[in-house]
Amino acid sequence: MRILLVGVNHRSCPIEVRERLAFRTEQLPEAYAALRRDAGLAESLILSTCNRVEIYAGVPRLDGTHERLSAFLSAHGGFQDAELRSHLYACADPQSVEHLFAVASGLDSMVLGETEILHQVKHAYEQARSHGTAGKALNVLFQKALNAAKTVQTKTVLGRGCVSVGTVALEFAQKIFGDLRPHTVALLGAGKIGEVTLKRLSARGVSNIRVLNRSPERAQRLASSYGGTAYGLGALEAQLLEADILITSASAPGYLLTRAQAAAAMPQRRHRPLCLIDLGVPRNIEPAAGTLENVYLFDIDDLQGLVAHHASLRQQAVQDSQVIIQQKVRHFLAWWDAEGAACGSGSSSALAAAP
Amino acid sequence: MVIAHTVCALLSYVAFLVAFLSGALFLVQERQVKRKRMGWLFRRLPALGTLDRLNLLAIGAGFGLLSLGMAFGLWGSRMLLGSRWPWDPKVLLTAVLWVAYLTLWMIRIRSTLRGRKIALLSILGFSLVLFTFLGVNRWLPTWHAYL
C-alpha cells in the first residue's frame, strides 16, 4: 500500500488555476464517486482550500495512479491534461506524508503558521470519512497529521500572531479590555497603517467606530466603509471621553494629544482605561501621556520592535516545528512500514517529488 | 445560627482572597502592558478588564457575605449572651474591615479610582482580613479563638 499525493498550491499555480480546481462541498459526493469509479481508488481524500487543492490516495501500487489523478483534476477544472501538468506536484510516501504533516501544521501556508488550515484539514478528513473513502491508511495518516499539527501549535510559537503592527496593537488592546466588542475605537488621521489597524479591530468585532480627519470627505469615506461615524479634528477632546481605543496616524508637526489633555480627560472618563496607539511619525501623542494611570500608550517603535522580535521567534519556531514534524513522520512511517511488511506489500521509495 | 455566621464569614474571606488574587494579577499584567512585554506572563494572564471585573465582583460579594455574617453574629450573640454588641477585639476589627471594604467598594463603583490603585487597595484590604482572621486569635484575647 502506498500513499500518493497529487495537487496544486499557492506556490505552484496562480489563483486562476486554483479557483477552477477547487471543490465545493456539494461537488464532493460526485467527486469521491468518480475517484472510486474512474480512478479506481479504494482510499481517497480531497483537501480543497483557497490556497491548495490536493488529493491524497491510498493505493496498492502506484502504477498509473498519478496519471489518473492528474486526468481527474484536469477534467474537474476543465483543463487540457498537459496544461495542468506543469502546475501539479505529485509524490508518494514518505514525501507525501511529510508534505501533509507540514501542511496541517501551517508550515506550507501563505501566512506561515496560520491555524485555520488545521480546521480545514480536519474538515476534509471528516468529509472523506462521511463519504466512506478514508480507509485504514488515510485514517491513521490524517489522525497523525492532526496530532502533529496540534503539537506544533502547543509546543512552538509558530501560530502566534504579531506579524504586523496591527496585530501587535490588537493583542495589547485585547489584554487591556478583554472582549473588544463593546468598546469604542476612534481613528485620528488618514495614514494607511492607521486604517489597517482599524480594519483589524473591526474584524475583531469592534463596531463602535469613529473616524476623525482634517478632511471631512475622507473621514466620511473611511467611516462609511467601517460602519462608523465621521468627525472633524475638533472633536478630539469630546471623543477622548468616549473612545476606549484611540489610534492616531496623522502627519502633523506637533502633538495632537498632549499629556495635559489626556490627564484632564481621565477623571471625566471616570478613569476608564484608555489605550492610545500612536502610529504617526513624527509622533501624534506626547510620550509622557503613557505615564498616566489607566492610560496605555504604544508608539510605532514599540509595535515595530515587537513585530521584529516575533519575526525572529517565528524563525526559531519554524525550526522547532520541523523537528517535531520529522519526529512524527518517522513514527508514522515506522508504523506504516510495519503494516506494509505485515500485508506483504512493500512501501517507501518515492514516485516523483516536486512540492 | 452560629453555623450561618461562620459560613458567611469564611465565604466572605474567600471572596476577599479572590479580590486579593485578582488585584495581584492585575498589577503583574499591568506591568507587562505598560512595559510592552509580550512574554510568558502576558500571554497567560487574563486581560486587565477581566481581572478588574472579577475584582469588583469579589469585593461586592465579600462585602455582602461579611455583612450577612456580622448580622448573624449579632443576632446570635443577642440570643446566646443577651448583650446587644459584644465588645470583642475581633468584632471591632471586623467592623473596621466592613467599613474598609464598603469604602473600597464605593470607590470602585463610583469610579473615583480604578485600575492599579484599586488593585493595591484590594491587597491592603486582604492583609487586614488576614489579621482579623489569624492575628486576633494569636495576639489578642477573643471569644472567637478557634484556630
Residue B84, pLDDT score: 63
Q: Is the confidence at residue B80, as pLDDT, over 80?
A: no
Do residue A178 and residue B47 have CB atoms under 8 angstroms apart?
A: yes
pLDDT at B141 over 80: no
Q: B87 burial class (0-12, 13-18, 19+ CB within 10 angstroms)?
A: exposed
Task: Quick: pLDDT tens for A128-142.
Answer: 999 999 988 899 999
Residue that has been written with the C-alpha cell 520541523 in this structure: A322
Residue A166 grid coordinates: 496591527
Strand partners, B63: none
Q: How far apart are CA A2 and CA A336, in angstroms?
A: 9
pLDDT-based confidence at residue A351 (cuts at 50, 70, 90): very low
Nearest to A271 by CA among B53, B107, B122, B112: B112
Q: Is B92 helix (H, G, I), strand (E, B) or coil?
A: helix
Spelled out in words, what is the top-level CATH class assigned to the domain A2-155+312-343? Answer: alpha beta
Which three cell numbers mark B76?
Answer: 446570635
Which of B29, B31, B32, B38 is the best mutation test for A, with the most CBs of A within 10 A?
Answer: B38
Q: Report the CATH number of the A165-293 domain.
A: 3.40.50.720
β-bridge partners, A57:
A4, A44
Least confident of A274-288, A340-354, B68-82: A340-354
The whole-angstrom separation of Cα A321 and Cα B37 is 24
Tell me how far CA of residue A34 lies from CA of A23, A30, A39, A58, A243, in angstroms: 13, 6, 7, 15, 57
Q: Looking at chain A from residue 172 to 211, which residues have their Cβ under 8 Å from any Cβ of chain B?
A: 172, 174-179
Whether the predicted pLDDT of A349 surpasses 80: no
**Distance between CA atoms of A102 and A100, rounded to whole angstroms?**
5
Please, where in chain A does CATH 3.30.460.30 lie?
2-155+312-343
State whether A272 and B111 contact (CB < 8 Å). yes
pLDDT over 80 (residue B147): no
Q: What is the per-residue pLDDT for B143?
A: 65
Higher pLDDT pick, B31 / A202: B31
Per-residue pLDDT at B82 exceeds 90: no
* The three three-digit cell numbers of residue B56, written as one number: 469588583
Q: Tell me the average pLDDT of chain B.
A: 89
Examine the residue annotation and report whether A343 is marked as an active-site residue of this protein.
Answer: no
Element housing A321 (H / E):
helix A300-343
A15-28 confidence digits (pLDDT tens): 888 888 989 888 99
Instruction: Examine the pLDDT at A236 and tell me if it is beyond 60.
Output: yes
Segments making up each domain of chain B, as ranges: 2-139
Contacts of A111-118 with C-beta under 8 Å, sequence gap 24+, read: A111/A163, A112/A158, A112/A314, A112/A318, A113/A158, A113/A159, A113/A160, A113/A314, A113/A317, A113/A318, A113/A321, A114/A159, A115/A153, A115/A159, A117/A49, A117/A149, A118/A146, A118/A149, A118/A150, A118/A153
Catalytic choice (A50, A162, A275, A343): A50
Q: Pick the more confident residue, B103 or A343.
A: B103
Closest CA to A250 of A288, A281, A210, A216: A281
How far is residue A149's CA from residue A121's CA, in Å, rounded to a whole number? 10
Residue of B nearest to A294 (CA): B115
E strand segments, chain A: 2-9, 43-48, 52-59, 89-92, 184-188, 208-212, 229-231, 245-248, 274-278, 295-299
Q: What's the confidence (pLDDT) of residue A174? A: 92
Given a contact cutoff of 8 angstroms between Cβ atoms, the answer to whether A329 and A101 are in contact is yes
Confidence of residue A348 (pLDDT cuts 50, 70, 90): very low
Q: Which three cell numbers stand for residue A34?
A: 468518480
Cell of A304: 515595530
Query: Nearest-CA residue of chain A relative to B50?
Result: A178
Does the distance separating the beta carbons of A273 and B114 come in below 8 Å?
Answer: yes
Grid cell of A162 as nine digits: 504579531
Nearest-angstrom CA–CA distance, A277 and B99: 40
